[in-house]
Structure 1
Amino acid sequence: MNSRIALTLALCLSVFSCGRKSDVVELQNWNFGGLPQQTAFLRERVAEFNRTHPGVEVTQSDKSWYMIREILYASFAAGAGPDVMNTHANYAAEFSQAGYYYPINRFPDFPQVRQWFVPRLMESTEYRGNCYGLPANAIAFVLCCNQELFDRAGIAPPKTWSEFRAAALKLTRDTDGDGVVDQYGLVLMGGDKGGFAYRLIPFFYKAGADVMSPDLNRIEFNSPRGVAALQLFADMYQQDHSITPGFLAYTHSEVSDLFANNKAAMSIEGPWFRRMIEDKVPGKGMYVVPVPVPDDRIAEYDTAPTLQDLVMYAINARSKHPQEAWELLKFLRNPESDQFWVTEDLGALACTTSALQSPAAAKVPHLPVYLSELKHARPWPAHPQITAIAGNVFTPECLKAIVGELSAQAALDRAAREAQRMIDEHR
């Protein structure tokens, strides 16, 4: 009986091994976040890659953008993780220093591939002389204004901080006369620590404040200009009551709901916001303008930097098939693929020169504003600790200042001390 069982098992194993694709390279592509249209487009692109590259089979897995750092760290620390993934470009410093990202400038054709992209965006994927990803989509943070509410109030989108504060106050109203305010001038995303930092820092940059010194050795966001930026929001919340009172719990969903349903007049956002609102209320109009500047910097309204964010595609440093992963990276980010960010309105900005200069780009709503802002925008400093500083140190202290638990100066000083400690320990 035992010999029969052994023979049966041997035959099964033989059949199984004969059916295996031992000659096919298998790659894992992890897609973090994105609008449904983006996810569908990427799946189509991966399927096309599989059809045109018979020696490679790519499996795509869709994962939460909000858990991206935790998921990647857990996977990489275990010696696992995907071959290819989309991540924040500001992870280039942190993850490459940890040995998790593959330097793509090692590939012989990298100099030619680099020429596809806007130079400023490629620079955001670099750390200490190496490049760790290809730009996937670009973001410049702007001020989105509810067109219906602004037109009804007869006011124009603000350019200066005083205009911004006045507009928010005027647009904070009890619309149905029941004695309860039901429309607010500004909605903030306080329930997402990273998302909040990304929406507050544009005001610091517009004011001329820096997050860190140029040599990345010193924290500088608690400068007088930084304090003034934070004080603006504290005054709007505590004195004017023009910021939605529940903002500490808000994420994308609540922010877009309030804006779409005329409960909020302004939000600090990126190019995805128009599509989010369109999906909720088709045809709803909005004004998209640069983030306002301090009154004494009105001459720099069109050139003062906002925050630049960038998503890039990177390769796992431990991938067993880096060359095949590189081929996938190029396929996902070549000019043909990038053109879809223009023609299909996927909620972010294209990154290749050819796509941004194409005839179709002229039809993209608000694109001139985003491109103008992107021209002068600045990313977060390329320091390995910047993600932790922004979400875990900067945001909590700034929120305390806005709601009145600390003064703006005290909050930023506390955040600066802790951030400086993190930087000093990292040297």
Structure 2
Amino acid sequence: MPTLCRLPRLRTQPTTSMIQAISRTGVRLLLTLLILCFATGCTSDRERRIPGEPTRVVVWDFGGVPGHQEWIKGAVERFNAGRDDIEIELEIRDWATQRESLISSTIIGAGPDIIRCHHKYSVEFGELGGLLPMERFADWPEVKARIFPNVLEHVKYNGQHYGVPVTMLPFVLAVNTDIMARYDLDVPTTWEGMLEAGRILKEYDLQAFTMPAGLNLDTAYRFLPLLYGAGGRVFNHDWTQAGFNGPAGKAALEFLVRMKDEGYMPAASAAYAFDENAAHWSTEKAAMSIEGPWWQDTVLGDFGFDTDKLALAQVPMPATAYEDNPRGVLLDVVMVAITGYTPVAEEAWTVLKALNVDDPVWQQPNPKMGGIPTQLAAYAPGVESPYIDLDELAESARRGIGWPGHPAITQVQRHIADAVNLAMSGVMTPADALDQAAVEVNEVLSDY
């Protein structure tokens, strides 16, 4: 991973990005001072140890499908019932509020001891000191040995791991097999095959493909599998410039715009977020969508879709790569981490292991959990799973490429989503939209 400077470089003339960078640096300084304050015991209002009472460990669980939420509530109840020395206080929070919640809670000094969140925060908050490196715990090597090595790289920064990856979210192509069989179509493996399927299905007032393309991060997450499949990358090789506006990125966005303009995607897709897209696919108006291991439980539980008609396949790629990077698909990871300001680190580690390492739920892939486990034991011979096409999910995970572990990756994702939306709305050409986003991203990168 390229070395990232903690402080932004100064320029001779003040610019908007410079002011933003100074603001970010001020937040970092404040966070650092607060973390030092917590470490030296100046946070009596956060006292977790009270004589004669169990040590309180606060867990913030961001997001999670209903099955995950049901599991963690039960797991916490079982833990609390079986221990008299530690008591877990669980708070389930909205997935979309992770970054803002973590920053604000750290500033006011009333944050959690354990968080379940996106792996990208291992870099941003690991850099700030807001997360503890797992290497501080003596039995971390034993825990690490139970997890796929390539997935551990997603929570690693400057040689240390700032969380335990618990679920993998490999992106795949969700296919309505009934639609495909009705019109004698094979599942396409290339963009060219997608266009041909679109041409045929349009004759029957159906769309071949649907995806979120609105002003939301769901859009960036559907664009990236196509970018990676075309050989593209988010940044250049040393992470100093945007790379998503290269030949692969422009080809991927041109492909999506063509799919929409030809009528092979919903006309309203530029206004879709996840829910609108799921509803469109589940009501059988489109045959395919780029999704992940959460899809099976979502379409069944939220829309009553008959999952006998669901199949998973690899995300189609262009017949020929547009850039020389190894081709792959997006892999996301959910991690559990311990905050850098917790006053009860050892107790938090005990809780983390009990809930997120030793619990049997992590030894069997279960679609109700919204992702596939990161532990090797879950894929041992003889392990059975109700997942549809688990082999396709595993293959996608094997080929998976994550978002770059850069502290500003959330800003980058938003700029990419904006570019895709502008092109899909017809406001700008794909090339112009991506180039404009690249200018903004380059300003962000120049601050590191």
TM-score between the two structures when normalised by the length of structure 2: 0.84
- Partner AA of 1:328 in structure 2: V
Q: Once the 2 structures are TM-superposed, how far is the Cα of residue 97 of structure 1 from its aligned partner?
A: 1.6
1:286 pairs with 2:286: no
Contact 2:367 2:387 (8 Å CA) reproduced: no
Whole-angstrom distance in 2 between the partners of 1:83 and 1:358: 36
Contact 1:338 1:355 (8 Å CA) reproduced: no
Secondary structure of the residue aligned to 1:331 is helix
* Residues 359/295 of structure 1: CA separation in 2 closer, same or farther (3 Å cut): same
Contact 1:308 1:379 (8 Å CA) reproduced: yes
Whole-angstrom distance in 1 between the partners of 2:192 and 2:165: 36
Contact 2:364 2:383 (8 Å CA) reproduced: no
Secondary structure of the residue aligned to 2:188 is coil
402, 420, 423: which is aligned to 1:398? 420
Q: Which position in structure 2 is the counterpart of 1:413?
A: 435
- Partner AA of 2:320 in structure 1: D
1:321 pairs with 2:351: no
Whole-angstrom distance in 2 between the partners of 1:88 and 1:341: 21
1:26 pairs with 2:56: yes
Contact 1:24 1:56 (8 Å CA) reproduced: yes
Whole-angstrom distance in 1 between the partners of 2:179 and 2:107: 49
1:123 pairs with 2:153: yes
* Residues 255/342 of structure 1: CA separation in 2 closer, same or farther (3 Å cut): same
131, 152, 164: which is aligned to 2:194? 164
Q: Which position in structure 2 is the counterpart of 1:247?
A: 269
130, 138, 141: which is aligned to 1:108? 138
* Identical positions, percent: 28
361, 383, 398: which is aligned to 1:360? 383
Greater mean deviation of Cα atoms: 306-315 or 359-368: 359-368
Q: Once the 2 structures are TM-superposed, how far is the Cα of residue 260 of structure 1 from its aligned partner?
A: 1.5
Root-mean-square deviation (CA), in Å?
2.1
* Residues 344/270 of structure 1: CA separation in 2 closer, same or farther (3 Å cut): closer
Alignment of 1:151-230 (within 5 A): 151-172=181-202, 175=205, 183-191=206-214, 193-230=216-253
Tell me the alpha carbon deviations over residues 189-224 of structure 1, each in whole angstroms, 9 at most, x when there is no partner.
Answer: 134621111111000000001111333222211111
Tell me the alpha carbon deviations over residues 325-377 of structure 1, each in whole angstroms, 9 at most, x when there is no partner.
Answer: 11111112225434365256422101100112252345532110111111111
Whole-angstrom distance in 1 between the partners of 2:119 and 2:350: 20
277, 295, 311: which is aligned to 2:319? 295
Q: Which position in structure 2 is the counterpart of 1:271?
A: 293
Structure 1, gaps ≥5 residues long: 1-19, 176-182
Contact 1:91 1:387 (8 Å CA) reproduced: no
Structure ID, larger Rg: 1
Contact 1:271 1:348 (8 Å CA) reproduced: yes
Q: Which position in structure 2 is the counterpart of 1:14?
A: none
Secondary structure of the residue aligned to 1:311 is strand
* Residues 344/267 of structure 1: CA separation in 2 closer, same or farther (3 Å cut): closer
- Partner AA of 2:353 in structure 1: K
- Partner AA of 1:220 in structure 2: G
Contact 1:235 1:402 (8 Å CA) reproduced: no
Structure 2, gaps ≥5 residues long: 1-49
Tell me the alpha carbon deviations over residues 375-417 of structure 1, each in whole angstroms, 9 at most, x when there is no partner.
Answer: 11100111101111112x1111121112221111111111111
Tell me the alpha carbon deviations over residues 200-257 of structure 1, each in whole angstroms, 9 at most, x when there is no partner.
Answer: 100000000111133322221111121111110111112x022212223322222222
313, 332, 335: which is aligned to 1:309? 332
Whole-angstrom distance in 2 between the partners of 1:252 and 1:28: 30
235, 256, 268: which is aligned to 2:278? 256
TM-score between the two structures when normalised by the length of structure 1: 0.88
1:44 pairs with 2:92: no
1:376 pairs with 2:406: no
Whole-angstrom distance in 2 between the partners of 1:379 and 1:236: 26
Q: Once the 2 structures are TM-superposed, how far is the Cα of residue 75 of structure 1 from its aligned partner?
A: 1.2
Q: Which position in structure 2 is the counterpart of 1:17?
A: none
Contact 1:309 1:379 (8 Å CA) reproduced: yes
Whole-angstrom distance in 1 between the partners of 2:64 and 2:152: 21
Secondary structure of the residue aligned to 1:59 is strand
Contact 1:202 1:291 (8 Å CA) reproduced: yes
Whole-angstrom distance in 2 between the partners of 1:384 and 1:248: 28
Q: Which position in structure 2 is the counterpart of 1:86?
A: 116
* Residues 173/71 of structure 1: CA separation in 2 closer, same or farther (3 Å cut): farther
Whole-angstrom distance in 2 between the partners of 1:221 and 1:141: 18
* Residues 358/350 of structure 1: CA separation in 2 closer, same or farther (3 Å cut): farther
1:57 pairs with 2:81: no
